[in-house]
Chain A
Amino acid sequence: MTAKIQLIGVKKRFGSKVVLDGVDLTVDKQSSLVIIGGSGTGKSVTIKSILGIIRPDEGTILVDGEDITHINGGARDRVMKKFGMLFQGGALFDSLPVWENVAFGLIQGRGMARSRARDIAIQKLAKVGLTEDVAFLSPSELSGGMQKRVGLARAIAADPEIIFFDEPTTGLDPIMADIINDLIISTVKDVGATALSITHDMISARKISDKIAMLYGGKIIWAGPTGEIDHSGNPYVEQFIHGRAEGPIKMAVKA
């Protein structure tokens, strides 16, 4: 298998606080990798570094073998078109109706005609189980689970090669969480995408991943196929996946 995304020695600090301390990570093509780890361990920073929203201090990020760590302008735009992202809070644009949220990347990013983009948006909404009448509502009229679905439809609207999921099930009830998990699996398979997710929901992590990596202390301390996570032999992983208060992991108080 070829690597779709590769992180080599990525470091990032904010002020004196070291968040990423040499992250090495490989995501294979058309596979689904989930990064687990406690709150404030740098999971979001890892994803945002790949997206170019945060610039790492050191290290290299490769996408399809191309070094994207320091690219800007047109080259960055070209790489961004490979990406889709589902944000934790949905991050829907509240000034636009649902369909325009979904069609946003097509209209603004790719210059598609509005009427055609709307048809595609309605197709994508159907894929996440939403009917056409939802398309003309405002995002603020939707429940949390519905907003997640719209966010998912927006993430897959432009048929991205890589989809990022930031805490896809956080804040949802268990049933809605499972529906979102199923949708993630089916949509990723549908578009043949590579998925990189971050979560601390182990049920979700086991369900949507082929591989799991655990981030702790700014480093990947364990990575392996999902089936092996119960036999990792790593006390940090053991403590995390069983959710024990006692163990080697000390919770940081400050963000």
Chain B
Amino acid sequence: MNIFASIGRAVITVLAHIGRLAQFTGRALAAVVSPPIYTRLIFSQMIRIGYFSLPVVGLTAFFTGGVLALQIYLGGNRFGAESIVPQVVVLAVTRELGPVIAGLMIAGRVGAAIAAEIGTMKVTEQIDALTTLATNPIKYLVVPRIVAAVISMPILTAIGDSIGVMGGYAVSVYTLDFNGTTYLKNTIDFAHNDDITSGLIKAAVFGFIVALMGCYNGFNSKGGAQGVGNATTNAVVSSSILILAADYVLTALLFHK
């Protein structure tokens, strides 16, 4: 086996993947802005992506806020800075953990479901059937999911942010003997609008990533049950990685002063 040939093959495979993804993204974005717009489908996807994700996002946000309060208290204790808990909790939750945790949860819950559903439609020729019924599969399947995810994620994150702060509040007040009123006052005084909006912008981008990777992997699945399984795994893994990578880039851009 020629080593250059195998390196070349790997590079070509990666580049081909990136190219296909870019092409797919371009087609999806072009379809978002051109009629027809399936409003009914966008709403039903918002219910599936947004509403049904509330429990899982809420629970994870609550525990994240709680553990954050506990860790900051214990860490701050080392140099007598326990009182900084509310400020750090609200900052971390709104800027980082709210959108990232919600994004990862959505990647697992929604990204996997999108990839599995579209992948099954692909291998059972349902996507070809759409084409023969004079319906563009990108417009019918991809656009509603992307639009719904981009709208739902900031709303989910806003709710998750509040629950996360309340998680920190609960742990601080009930186990660490903080004064409840002071805790809330410190939280509200310290949080800036920028902290919250930057998190919500991130959330919208993460929603786009999850829906796009779910659809892309579903559309490119082949074979049978195994192919759909692979598509689902790839959708979750790739969107999780992209969320964390995009998080860094967005943070650098949004807070670049």
Interface of A toward B, CB cutoff 8 Å: 48, 51-53, 77, 80-81, 83-85, 87-89, 91-94, 104-105, 108-111, 154, 158, 164
Interface of B toward A, CB cutoff 8 Å: 36, 121, 124-126, 128-129, 131-136, 140
Contacts of A80 in B (CB 8 A): 131-132, 134
Q: Do A91 and B135 touch (CB < 8 A)?
A: no
Q: Do A51 and B131 touch (CB < 8 A)?
A: yes
Q: Do B132 and A85 touch (CB < 8 A)?
A: yes
Task: State the CA gap A164–B129 with chains docked (Å).
Answer: 11
Interface-centre pick from B121, B124, B133, B135 (highest chain A CB count, 10 A): B133
Contacts of B136 in A (CB 8 A): 77
Task: State the CA gap A83–B36 with chains docked (Å).
Answer: 21
Contacts of A85 in B (CB 8 A): 128-129, 132
Task: State the CA gap A81–B133 with chains docked (Å).
Answer: 7
Picked from A52, A88, A92, A110, the residue with its CB within 8 Å of the CB of B131 is A52
Contacts of B133 in A (CB 8 A): 104-105, 108-109, 154, 158
Contacts of A92 in B (CB 8 A): 126, 129
Query: Whose C-beta in chain B lies nearest to the C-beta of A83?
Result: B132
Contacts of B135 in A (CB 8 A): 104-105, 108-109
Task: State the CA gap A53–B136 with chains docked (Å).
Answer: 11
Query: Whose C-beta in chain B lies nearest to the C-beta of A88?
Result: B125
Q: Do A87 and B128 touch (CB < 8 A)?
A: yes
Query: Whose C-beta in chain A lies nearest to the C-beta of B134?
Result: A109
Given A89-B124, A91-B124, A108-B140, does the pair A84, B129 have CB atoms closer than 8 Å? no
Measured between C-beta atoms, what is the minimum distance from B210 to chain A in Å? 20
Query: Whose C-beta in chain A lies nearest to the C-beta of B136?
Result: A77
Task: State the CA gap A81–B134 with chains docked (Å).
Answer: 6
Contacts of B140 in A (CB 8 A): 108
Measured between C-beta atoms, what is the minimum distance from B119 to chain A in Å? 13
Query: Whose C-beta in chain A lies nearest to the C-beta of B41?
Result: A108
Query: Whose C-beta in chain A lies nearest to the C-beta of B44?
Result: A95
Task: State the CA gap A234–B50 with chains docked (Å).
Answer: 62
Q: Do B134 and A87 touch (CB < 8 A)?
A: no
Measured between C-beta atoms, what is the minimum distance from B136 to chain A in Å? 8
Task: State the CA gap A104–B121 with chains docked (Å).
Answer: 15
Query: Whose C-beta in chain A lies nearest to the C-beta of B133?
Result: A105
Q: Do B129 and A93 touch (CB < 8 A)?
A: yes
Q: Do B132 and A51 touch (CB < 8 A)?
A: yes
Query: Whose C-beta in chain B lies nearest to the C-beta of A93?
Result: B126
Query: Whose C-beta in chain B lies nearest to the C-beta of A106?
Result: B133
A-B contact pairs, 12 of them (CB 8 A): A48-B128, A51-B128, A51-B132, A77-B134, A77-B136, A84-B132, A87-B128, A91-B128, A91-B129, A92-B126, A93-B129, A105-B133
* Interface contacts beyond A51-B132, A91-B126: sample of 19 additional A-B pairs, CB < 8 Å, sorted by A: A51-B131, A77-B134, A80-B131, A81-B134, A84-B132, A85-B128, A85-B129, A85-B132, A92-B126, A92-B129, A93-B129, A104-B135, A108-B133, A109-B135, A111-B36, A154-B133, A158-B133, A158-B134, A164-B132
Task: State the CA gap A194–B125 with chains docked (Å).
Answer: 23
Measured between C-beta atoms, what is the minimum distance from B143 to chain A in Å? 13
Query: Whose C-beta in chain A lies nearest to the C-beta of B131?
Result: A53
Picked from B125, B128, B134, the residue with its CB within 8 Å of the CB of A105 is B134
Measured between C-beta atoms, what is the minimum distance from A99 to chain B in Å? 14
Q: Do B134 and A91 touch (CB < 8 A)?
A: no
